[in-house]
Structures are given as structure tokens and as C-alpha cells.
Amino acid sequence: MSKHKITNRELHGIEFPSDVAKSLALTILNRHYKHTPNEDKTSMIKEILANPEQYDDHPLLGTLVQKLIGKKRDQTFIAYELENKQKAFNVVGIKHIEDAAIRQMEIAMRLPVSVSGALMPDAHPGYGLPIGGVLATRNEVIPYAVGMDIGCRMALSILDLPASYIDHNGHKLKNVLLDLTHFGNDGGLELRQEHEVLDHSLFRESDLLRKLHGKAIRQLGSSGSGNHFVEFGIVELVDGKSFGLLQGSYSAILSHSGSRSLGANIAQHFTSIAMDKCKLPKEAKQLAWLDVESDAGSEYWLSMNLAAEYAKACHDRIHENLCNALGITVLMKVENHHNLAWKELQEDGQECIVHRKGATPAGLGVVGIIPGSMTTPGYIVNGLGNKRSLFSASHGAGRAMSRHKAKTSITVSNMHKTVKAAKVTLIGGSTEEAPTAYKNIDSVMKSQEDLVTIEGKFYPRIVRMANE
């Protein structure tokens, strides 16, 4: 039987709480699981990180678990059953949504703490709550219903330049993207970034956040991998009066990314605590919750909102760095989170915790951006405040293929042909994010005409993403 030695390369993209924990994981796996294929070892680590409590007493992995969670945790918990009767939820654009995502939402609506829910037209399966799921609870917050990339968001800067600036300065814009943006799970920009969020008192008051502060400093102003991007493109406003601008075309910058390692570590830490305290049946275990008035729930809520502020700070630095380097002025900025929980009033006048995991806030008059793909337009939208969607809309076109299917069925050459045909310049990028891996954004937008009005479109021209 052959031996399989796993290295740091195979663990790339997996977030560990410390380098010590990562090193220990490599040692244990290579010493005691030398005949296990590396792919299985990677899956094992991901499972331990997601559900460490299941391995506390494991003779080999117990030591690793203690390094991952820092200390032995309180094992006091309450076991809950799913309700037999599923609460009703609204599905927007059901023809765009695969059955697996609907089944996940059905499970979420059987939680005893669920109040109401909705599924957006770009929905697809995720961990716990489906991507594109919106779930309201009375006084409980579910870390996995917010997601791993807490505060993932969009930011659009409309520039004081005509659309022709993009086409006439392609080489310059490509170079500035290469020089002033950074993608991937490691590293950051060469020039240290400054932002007031780094001085937040929580970085001193929380043991967890104190440990993460150094990496937050290093990663400020950078972007993640996967579908995160920074783009130069052209905005066409349908009616500029809504923004105090003239109707017409403008140059613009659009970015999509979240809270980097800070948010991922917060999500992992508090999901573990929630799963310790709240035991659910296997099919719903990732939807474990914390009472927001409990010590752990209150700490998660504060940490979650700090991660959201940090995500915004990353976008602020990206846009400011690019604009300063080019000597250009921003006329207006549109931005929104789409991975977060909010305290909002519902129809009965009661305050609920509304989780949007891959959903754009669309309350009455709330402006946001719904992107398409690297070659298709994104939409600038204005919320209509529709109650049936819990004041939400899609956060993008949504995946038509899983990342695995896209990677194995779309070639790099075909992706680049599609990009070239759309007159888009692509820096980096992966076949997992190829345009054909996504649903038709125009069809998705048509299915939510009663959720948002369209104020304009953004057309990508120069796109930077993480390297494959």
C-alpha cells in the first residue's frame, strides 16, 4: 500500500486558528494516516474544523481538536428536535432553483426557532442554510446561516469620467489592478494599509479577536479567492436623478469580497460553540444557534458586526488605492452586504434576527448591487420593500454548476474564448467561475421584478480575480 504525504499545499485555502494548529495537523496526518489518500485527509481536516466536538475524545485527533479550539469546552448542551410541521416560506423564481436548495430551506423552516423564511432565485445548496436563503428567528443567531465569509459585500464607485476612459486606458488600468490588489487566502498588499476599524476596542477586549488582529492588519485591502473580484467597467444609469446624477454612461469600479480570515475564524469559533450548546439532528446540525442575549451569542453578534465593518474597510481601501493611483474622483458609491444578520421588524411588529446568506437587502428605497458574472452585467437596484421575500433580493446570478462540475467540464481555453468574445480582459480567474457556470442574470432579474427596480447596469471590462 502506497504512502501519501500531505503538505501545506494541499491545505491551502483551509483556515486554521494558528500556524501551530496547522503544523500539528500535518504531523498527525502524516504520522498516523500515511496510507490515507491526501484528498481524504483534507476532507477529514475540514470535518474536524466544522465539527470539533465529535472528535474531543478521539485517541489520535483529540490533541488536534484541543489546539483548534484552544481549551476543553463546556459540554453542557440542550438537545432539540425538528418540528414535524414545516413553517411556510416563499420561493422567488422557483424555476431557477434546484431541489437540493429547497430541501435545505425546508429543514431550516422546521427549526423550533424559525419564524419566517424566503429563498431567492439565485439559490443553490450550501452548508446549513442554502446560499440565497433568508431566515428570520425571534432572538437567536445562527452562525452558519450568516456563513463563513461574514460581511461579504459589493461596492461600486461611479467615477467622474466618461465610459470611454475605460476603453482608452486599458493597459494602465490593468497594471494598477496588478499593483494595488491582492487575491487569495494568504498574504496581503506590500504597502501597509491604514483604517480606523483596526483600532476597534473589540480587538483588545476579545481573546479570539486579539489573536486575529495581526492577520487582519496584513490582509486589509485584499480580496479572497473563488468568486471575489475587482473590476473596472462601465455604468449605464437608467435614471440618474435617483442618485443626483445625469442619465448616461460612466466609468466605474466594482468589487466583491468579504472579511477574509477574520470572518472565517469568527464563524468557525462560534459555530463550534453553538454546536456544543445546541444539539440538533444530523441533517440540521450546522444550523445550531446562540441566544443573542447569552454571553456567547452577544460576543458573536459583536464579532460578526466587527467582521462586517472590516469587510467594508477592505473595499474602502481597494477603491481609494485605485482612485488615488489614477488621480480620479468618485461621484458616488453604492454598497451592500449580502452575508450578514440584521435586527429587523416583521409584520407583527416584533423584532427578529434576519439572516441573509447570499441575499441582498431590498427594503423600500434601499439601494444595492446584484452582480452577474465576469462577462455579464451587474444590476444597480432599488428595493421595493416586498414582505414575501423578507425585504430581500438575490445576491447574484447564482451558480448553474457546482464548482467541481465547472472545473471538470469547462476548459481554460473555452473560458478565455467566452471572455474574449465579450470584450473583457481577465486577470487570473478560474474555470470554477467561468461565465457558463452561472445562471442567466437577466432571467434571474426578471423573476424578481416585484422585489427591486433597476436603476442601472454595470458592464465589466477589466476583471481581476484569484489565480486558478
- pLDDT range class, residue 341, cuts 50, 70, 90: very high
Residue 232 φ/ψ, nearest 5 degrees: -100, 140
> What's the mean pLDDT in 338-342?
97
pLDDT exceeds 80 at position 242 = no
Model pLDDT for residues 23-69, shown as the tens digit of each residue: 778 777 877 777 788 887 888 888 888 887 777 777 777 777 776 76
> What's the mean pLDDT in 369-379?
97
Biggest alpha carbon distance in the chain?
Answer: 70
Model pLDDT for residues 168-222, shown as the tens digit of each residue: 999 999 999 999 999 988 788 988 899 999 999 999 988 999 999 999 999 999 9
Please state, in angstroms and as integers, the Cα–Cα distance from residue 253 to each residue in 37, 305, 347, 420, 459, following that order.
43, 25, 37, 20, 10
> What's the mean pLDDT in 268-278?
94
Q: Provide the pLDDT for residue 20.
A: 66
CATH topology of domain 153-261+307-336+359-467: tRNA-splicing ligase RtcB (3.90.1860)
Model pLDDT for residues 109-141, shown as the tens digit of each residue: 999 999 999 999 999 998 889 999 999 999 999
Q: Provide the pLDDT for residue 255.
A: 98
> What's the mean pLDDT in 253-268?
96
> What's the mean pLDDT in 161-167?
95
Q: Among 38-42, 266-270, 273-277, name the one with the lowest average pLDDT.
A: 38-42
> What's the mean pLDDT in 287-297?
92
Q: Are 62 and 53 in contact (CB under 8 A)?
A: no
> What's the mean pLDDT in 64-82?
72
- For a pLDDT cut of 70, what percent of the chain falls above it? 97
Q: Provide the pLDDT for residue 3.
A: 65
Cα first-last separation, the chain: 32
Q: Give ranges for CATH 3.90.1860.10 in the chain.
A: 153-261+307-336+359-467
Q: Among 140-154, 308-322, 337-351, name the one with the lowest average pLDDT.
A: 337-351
Q: What is the mean pLDDT of the chain?
A: 91
Q: Provide the pLDDT for residue 21.
A: 74
Enclosing H/E stretch for 159: strand 153-159
Q: Among 27-31, 116-120, 391-395, 416-420, name the one with the lowest average pLDDT.
A: 27-31
As given in the structure block, the three cell numbers for residue 315 are 473595499
> What's the mean pLDDT in 157-173?
96
Write the DSSP assignment of 303-364 as a string of letters: HHHHHHHHHHHHHHHHHHHHHHHHT--EEEEEEEESEEEEEEE-TTS-EEEEEEESEEE--T
Q: How long a stretch of residues is the chain?
A: 468
Angle ∠(216,300,108) on CA atoms, nearest 5? 120
pLDDT exceeds 50 at position 288 = yes
Q: Are 346 and 136 in contact (CB under 8 A)?
A: yes
pLDDT exceeds 50 at position 73 = no
- The DSSP 8-state label assigned to residue 285 in this structure reads G
pLDDT exceeds 60 at position 388 = yes
Q: Provide the pLDDT for residue 58.
A: 76
Q: Provide the pLDDT for residue 345.
A: 86
